[in-house]
Chain A
Amino acid sequence: MEKNVTVYSTPTCPFCIRAKQYLKDNNIKFAEHDVGSNPEKAQEMIKKSGQMGVPVVDIDGSIVIGFDKEKIGSMLGI
Chain B
Amino acid sequence: MAYDLIVIGAGPAGITAAVYAARKKMNFIVITGDIGGQAAWSGDVENYTGYQFVTGPELAAKFEEHMRAYGITVKEQEEARELIRDKAVIRVRTERGEYEARAVIIASGKVSKELGVPGEKEFKNKGLTYCATCDGPLFSGKSVAIIGGGNSALDAALQLVKIAKKVYVINNMPKLGGDHVMREKIESNPAVQVLNGAAVLAITGENMVAGIKVKRLDKEEMIPVEGIFVEIGLIPNSKFAGIIDKNKLGEIKINSNNETNVPGVFAAGDVTDVPEKQIIIAAGEGSKATLGAFKYISRMR
Contact = CB atoms under 8 A, between A and B. Distances in A.
Contact of A54 (B40, B77, B138): B138
B98 interface: no
A36 B77 contact: no
Contact of B57 (A14, A35, A37, A52): A14
Contacts of B34: 14-15
B140 A69 contact: no
Contact of A14 (B40, B124, B136, B207): B40
A15 B35 CA distance: 9
A39 interface: yes
Contacts of A18: 35
Contacts of B61: 17
B186 interface: no
A17 B134 CA distance: 11
Interface stretch (B113-121, B125-133, B212-220, B239-247): B125-133
B135 interface: yes
A35 B138 CA distance: 6
Contact of B137 (A17, A36, A65): A36
Contact of B125 (A10, A12, A52): A52
B119 to A, nearest CB: 15
Contacts of B57: 12, 14, 17
Contacts of A52: 125-127, 129, 135, 138, 208
Nearest to A49: B125
B36 A10 contact: no
Size band of the interface chain B makes with A: 20 to 34
A60 to B, nearest CB: 23
B137 A53 contact: no
B41 interface: yes
A7 interface: no
A50 interface: yes
Nearest to A53: B125
B187 interface: no
A42 B163 CA distance: 14
Contacts of B134: 10, 12-16, 54
Contact of A50 (B36, B133, B207): B207
Contacts of B126: 50-52
A72 B282 CA distance: 32
A10 to B, nearest CB: 5
11 contacts: A14-B60, A15-B34, A16-B134, A34-B137, A35-B138, A36-B136, A52-B208, A53-B129, A54-B138, A68-B77, A70-B77
Give 4 closest A-B pairs by Cβ, nearest first: A36-B137, A53-B125, A13-B134, A14-B40
Given A10-B135, A46-B208, A51-B126, 12 more contacts: A12-B134, A12-B136, A13-B133, A14-B41, A17-B61, A18-B35, A35-B137, A36-B136, A36-B163, A37-B137, A37-B140, A54-B138
